[in-house]
Amino acid sequence: MNKQVSAQEAISHIQDGMTILYGGFMGVGTPKILIDALIEQGTKELTVIGNDAATPGAGIGRLISNGQVKKLIASHIGLNPEVAQLMNTGKLQVELVPQGTLVERIRCGGAGIGGFLTQTGLGTEVQEHKQVIQVGTQKYLLELPIRADVAIIRGTVADTLGNVFYRATTKNLNPLAATAADLVIVAAQEIVDPGELDPEKVMTPCVYVNYVVGGES
Amino acid sequence: MNKQVSAQEAISHIQDGMTILYGGFMGVGTPKILIDALIEQGTKELTVIGNDAATPGAGIGRLISNGQVKKLIASHIGLNPEVAQLMNTGKLQVELVPQGTLVERIRCGGAGIGGFLTQTGLGTEVQEHKQVIQVGTQKYLLELPIRADVAIIRGTVADTLGNVFYRATTKNLNPLAATAADLVIVAAQEIVDPGELDPEKVMTPCVYVNYVVGGES
Amino acid sequence: MALKDKELIAWRIAQELKDGDVVNLGIGLPTLVANYIPEEIQLMLQSENGLLGMGALATDAQVDPDIINAGNQHITTQKGASYFHSADSFAMIRGGHVDVTVLGALQVDELGNIASHMVPGKMVPGMGGAMDLIAGARRVIVAMLHTAKGEAKILKECSLPLTGVGKVNMIVTEKAVMEVTSHGLVLKEIMPGSTLDDIFATTEASFFLAENLALNDRKTLEGGEDGDQASNF
Amino acid sequence: MALKDKELIAWRIAQELKDGDVVNLGIGLPTLVANYIPEEIQLMLQSENGLLGMGALATDAQVDPDIINAGNQHITTQKGASYFHSADSFAMIRGGHVDVTVLGALQVDELGNIASHMVPGKMVPGMGGAMDLIAGARRVIVAMLHTAKGEAKILKECSLPLTGVGKVNMIVTEKAVMEVTSHGLVLKEIMPGSTLDDIFATTEASFFLAENLALNDRKTLEGGEDGDQASNF
């Protein structure tokens, strides 16, 4: 059950047209070496789903700059002017989702929950094309789960079984994205043997992880 | 912002007829000293909500044995024959909820989510009186949030601000219950000053906690 | 004799488990499966109270009051274990991240329905995590004795309140191994000591015979090996 | 002058905060509120990327690459801080556990609607966490300049796509402090340097005058004290 492989081998399972969930908030917590490997591999027509578009030189922004992304689903693109430009010229589809709704939809995708009711976005454009469900006197939007073909995750410490710890604010979307994809690849700053990672610090139990890659910066 | 008080002072806010969420799984992770204080105070007609009925001598079982509970909402009562007897003689109302649905309903109560869709219980008695929501070709039960007046929580280590760490399998319902009540009381085995509890081990951020009580066994 | 039957059931189910599987074993008979896991495979046992990587029962010297399984037993943990709260535990279960769950049952029927959590007016222990496990696990294997006090438990239609609808994949008793298919029940194996006539006589449900119907040899068990026939599945 | 206005707004909003509050400050002008929190109160700043207990901006020597706030700034943490993932962060926000959120806005209207996340065809940065903060925080305070390029921003009805419906509780600009009530907007204070005529001239929305309409004295700010008038609220 040793899941450690090279970045190239892990990324070789990602094919043109696939959907990828990525961890990170403004690039902090996005796995740099997996983005490197995806750029090297040149996989195209990707749909990527994560918190934000980072900046042109950081995180998922690099993959977008390199023309490998067909569609971006995120809550915020305001700090990446290149994304706005690509969107306005029709070269990139962008779907904007409220941040709390986005992360909860991903959690539902991993947790086998068919959807959830929220008042976030009620009465705004976010409501379009969505079921409105009434409970008592309150109205809610029904938001549906998100899953992806692949999740690319950045861990601080992982063991070879695939248990992962994320330090400080690098957690963000990482432990959620790791539950909601068919193939989950973790790039870790440090890889240890089973038993060396404090069970109390594991935020992603190994069951969710397919591959562990070392050498993340 | 020092939230440390005595068990008696914390429990004095619990009044007859209130609804209480309690942490613990078969008594492991249920705050013993808060149950002691509730028994001493003699508060009656309580509705208690938690994973199970434990056993007659353990956890919430002691409060039930003492006749202070009007209604129990839980997923399992099979290891507490006294509860079955009280239920059959009409002295205790019991509402049984699938465990995963119960904990997710409590999470919703704390997270401002109006409900969630699940296939757990579909086509069984659990479905009775519930909205069935169709998404695509799939049917789901709409399960609604649970909140309580009070949550009684057992922590391994808490700081005086109310940050809490739960060791090993004492987590169970505790961090969830702590989010879903108007008044949250934590009984901790150890109380430390702010800054002494590793921020990476905090499972209940202090915002959720009203009172911290020391001396839990 | 009863114990021997239960051990046989547990042994047979253990042969279904694969290297790397995440497995949740119900309380009672299913727990025995852990004793027969083939040495060459490594798997992770999940306990719904918030543990992945459950080890053997704790000896008196090993007991840690903060560590129990869902059956309220003090246990040890494997290397690589992790702890989580109940919502994360059931996210794992409901989300399809548990490969196999093994559960006891009062009744099972031709449609893969299962009744396991109550006998109205007699025994109402609550469903615990069973409904979530049945709804969420990728594969649901029922471990039970073929009959209860002479009454059939594999029925045309469950008469007790259902715990899960159409979710059972396999039934293993001391007499038979059956699979639930879209066409109905299929008898795949006759367990050692039983016969086809015996199974017909003690099963209310209709069932098909598998083309390659296998007769398990009790020697396979006694030899501690995974026989050819059992490994067909 | 523009900076002075923004500081004034930030100072005024800081007076609204109470000991023990959990506060989320939006990017830009709202962030300045942190500089004016009265010394005698302790509060916890929440950052939606997964931090409760945000401290001051990190100096070059303090920068930890793993610790940022939602505005992508490297920050320090308070004693008693904690980290969590995004779903737990928004559970905290949506669940009403954040006492106050301070947000910028493009437009606000008489019904407490707010437009803050896009100008169609011109600026579409995405709503980030704003919609969740507006829907979930117990109290929503808007911090903005009273006008944009001479155009009123406090309107009868927002013309831009809404970010939240009927959720704004208070509006603080360099000219006015208004509360949103079920009867409509109420002018509670005239900010130093402004006049009632000025506010009428630069506000499209109708508003009532509070019975105890207060005129904030700029000296209160310069003296660094919480004036009598400001503390009426």
Output the pLDDT for position D214. Answer: 82
Place of tokens 């919480």: D226
Residue D71 exposure: Cα atoms within 13 Å on the Cβ side: 16
- Give the pLDDT band of residue C232 (cuts 50, 70, 90): very low
* Phi, psi dihedral angles at A125 (to 5 degrees): -60, -25
Which residues does chain B have within 8 Å of residue A168's beta carbon, measured at their own beta carbons?
199-200
What tens digit of pLDDT does each residue of A166-202 get? 999 999 999 999 999 999 999 999 999 999 999 999 9
Q: What is the mean pLDDT of chain D?
A: 91
User: Which residues are registered as beta bridge partners of B152?
Assistant: B22, B185
Chains D and B touching, counted as 3 or more CB pairs less than 8 Å apart: yes
Here the tokens at position D167 are: 């959720």
Rounded distance between C-alpha atoms, residue C69 and residue C80, angstroms? 17
- At B142, list the tokens: 């709409």
Whether A and D touch (3+ CB pairs < 8 Å), yes or no = yes
Long-range pairs of A125-129 with CB within 8 A, sequence gap ≥ 24: A125/D161, A125/D162, A126/A97, A126/A98, A126/A101, A126/D127, A126/D131
Alpha-carbon gap, residue A92 to A77, rounded angstroms: 12
CB within 8 Å: A133 and B115: yes
**Would you call B200 and D95 a contact, using CB atoms and an 8 Å cutoff?**
no
Q: What is the pLDDT of residues A7-21, one digit of tens each?
A: 999 999 999 999 999
Q: What Cα–Cα distance (Å) separates residue D58 from each residue in B11, C94, D47? A: 41, 42, 15
Tally of CB atoms within 10 A around D201: 11
For chain C, report the end-to-end CA distance as a whole number of angstroms: 27
- Count CA atoms within 13 Å of residue D205 on its CB side: 29
* D215 pLDDT more than 80: no
**Nearest-angstrom CA–CA distance, D129 and D126:** 9
Which among C16, C48, C174, C189 is annotated as catalytic?
A: C48
Q: For residue D226, what pLDDT is reported?
A: 41
**What pLDDT band is residue C217 in, cutting at 50, 70 and 90?**
low
As a whole number of angstroms, the distance between CA A31 and CA A174 comes to 10
CA distance A212 to B12: 51
Tell me, what's the pLDDT at A203? 98
Which element (helix H / strand E) includes B153? Answer: strand B148-159
Greatest alpha-carbon span in chain D:
52
Distance between CA C163 and CA C140 in Å, rounded?
12
Domain boundaries, chain A: 7-213
For D69, residues 6+ apart whose C-beta sits below 8 A from its C-beta are A169, D47, D49, D51, D54, D75
Look at B99 and C84 and tell me if their CB atoms are within 8 Å. Answer: no
Cβ distance of B115 and A200 shorter than 8 Å: no
Taking a C-beta distance cutoff of 8 angstroms, is the pair B51, B172 a contact? yes
Give strand ranges (E) for C122-223: 139-143, 147-148, 151-152, 154-155, 170-172, 176-181, 184-190, 207-215
Interface of D with B in 159-198 (CB under 8 A): none
Q: Is B18 left (phi over 0), alpha (psi -120 to 50) or beta?
A: beta
Q: What is the CATH number of domain C5-222?
A: 3.40.1080.10
The number of beta carbons lying within 10 Å of the beta carbon of residue D232 is 11
Distance CA(A111)–CA(A105), nearest Å, equals 10
- Of all residues in chain B, the one with the smallest CA distance to D43 is B1
Q: What is the pLDDT of residues C117-158, one digit of tens each?
A: 999 988 899 999 999 999 999 999 999 999 999 999 999 999
Which residues does D82 contact at the CB level (< 8 Å), separation at least 6? Answer: B163, B199, B202, B205, B206, D51, D52, D53
To the nearest whole number, what is the mean pLDDT of chain A?
97
> Residue D231 pLDDT more than 60?
no
DSSP per-residue codes, A127-170:
GTT--EEEETTEEEEEE----EEEEEEEEEEEETT--EE--GGG
Is C7 an active-site residue?
A: no
CATH T-level topology, domain A7-213: Glutaconate Coenzyme A-transferase (3.40.1080)
Confidence at residue C224, expressed as pLDDT on a 0 to 100 scale: 42
Closest-CA distance of chain D to residue A172, Å: 4
CB contact under 8 A, A52 and D126: yes
When pLDDT is cut at 50, 70 and 90, the band that residue D227 belongs to is very low
User: What is the percentage of chain C residues whose pLDDT exceeds 90?
Assistant: 87
- The token pair at A213 is 């890659």
* pLDDT of the residue at D216: 73
As a whole number of angstroms, the distance between CA C19 and CA A64 comes to: 39
Closest residue in C to B175 (Cα) is C85
Predicted confidence at residue D224, as pLDDT, reads: 42
The whole-number pLDDT of residue D233 equals: 28
- Distances A173 to A30, A118, C19 between C-alpha atoms, Å: 9, 19, 30
The rounded radius of gyration (Å) of the Cα atoms in chain C is: 17
Contact predicate A89/D119, CB 8 Å: no
Arithmetic mean of pLDDT, D205-214: 94
Token pair in block for residue B4: 């440390």
| Helix/strand/coil for C196 | helix
- Residue D112 sits at φ, ψ, to 5 deg, of 80, 15
pLDDT reported for residue B82: 96
A49, A83, A99, A118, best to mutate vs chain D, most D CBs in 10 Å: A99
Residue C98 at interface with chain B, using a CB cutoff of 8 Å:
no
A75 has pLDDT over 50: yes
C3: pLDDT confidence band, cut at 50, 70 and 90?
low
Q: Which of helix, strand or coil describes residue B188?
A: strand
Contact D48, D83 (CB under 8 A): no
User: What local confidence, expressed as pLDDT, does residue C121 receive?
Assistant: 86
* Selected residue of C51, C82, C86 to mutate for chain A interface (largest A Cβ count, 10 A): C82
DSSP 8-class letter at D117: S
pLDDT tens figures, D118-151: 999 888 999 999 999 999 999 999 999 999 999 9
Of D232 and C168, the structure prediction assigns the larger pLDDT to C168
Can you tell me the ipTM of this complex?
0.95
CA-CA distance, C216 to C8, in Å (whole number)? 11
Please answer yes or no on whether C94 and A112 come within 8 Å at the CB atom: yes
Question: For D162-174, what is each residue's pLDDT tens digit?
Answer: 999 999 999 999 9
Question: Nearest to residue A178, comparing CAs of D85, C184, D117, C151?
Answer: D85
What's the average model confidence in pLDDT over A116-139? 97
- Which residue in C50, C66, C93 is closest to B100 by CB distance? C93
C139/C95 Cα distance (integer angstroms): 13
pLDDT exceeds cutoff 90 at D228: no
Residue from A79, A81, A77 nearest A99 by CA: A77
Q: Do residues B195 and D79 touch, judged by C-beta distance below 8 A?
A: yes
Determine if the pTM surpasses 0.90.
yes
Nearest CB to A76; choose among D125, D132, D136:
D125
Give the pair of three-digit tokens for residue A209: 């992880």
Distance from CA of A143 to the nearest CA of D (A): 13
D66 or D232, higher pLDDT = D66
pLDDT average, residue stretch D182-199: 96
- The Cα–Cα gap between B153 and B186 comes to 5
Residues C184, C120, C33: CA angle, nearest 5 degrees: 55
- The DSSP call for residue A112 is T
D129 CA: distance to closest CA in chain B (Å): 15
Say yes or no to pLDDT of D116 above 80.
yes
Nearest CB to D82; choose among B1, B113, B205: B205
pLDDT of residue D1: 44
Q: Are B122 and B140 in contact (CB under 8 A)?
A: yes
Catalytic residue of the set D48, D110, D179, D189 = D48
Average pLDDT for runs of 10 along chain B of length 217: 96 98 98 98 98 96 97 97 95 97 98 98 96 96 98 98 98 98 98 97 98 97
Gap between the Cα atoms of C217 and C214, Å rounded: 9
